[in-house]
Amino acid sequence: MNCYSKKDSCRRSGGTALTYLTVLLLAGAAHGQEAIGSATSITPQAEGSHGGKHTLATGGNVYHQDDIETGVGGIAGLRFHDNSDLKVGPKSRVKLDKFIYDPNRSAGSVAIEATKGSFRFSTGSRTEGSYQVKTPYGTLGIRG
């Protein structure tokens, strides 16, 4: 039993610390994600949002639902596991919405949302699959 008020003495909760530790470990495991790609070049600086806002470094991982943001002179080059490339231009923001890729199958799906600025996206080595690029003005769909 957990204690939620100052009146409760919490003597009945011998396992409270263990329960709390278990919840923290499970939350950490649920939050941990597999990388969907990595930064191939960062000039001079870009930020990601995975696990809180942080500075991206060349060779660093990017994750599903990551927001990539560049400053005034920033450019971020990203390569995904399917060998597709994304270049994010200066003063830009792109969300990595969806990435489904199985190296044993040629089909998959990628969706990014460009909310601000400029970008260049090059499809990967897959012969089948779908790519979707959402912008504030519309959605581009590429089907292979």
* Residue range 114-134, pLDDT digits in tens: 999 999 888 866 656 678 888
* Residue range 52-103, pLDDT digits in tens: 899 999 999 999 999 999 999 999 999 998 888 999 999 999 999 988 777 6
3-state helix, strand, coil in the chain (%, to 5): 10, 45, 45
For the sheet with 138-143, list strands across it: 54-55, 46-48, 67-70, 93-101, 108-116, 130-135, 138-143
pTM over 0.75? The answer is no
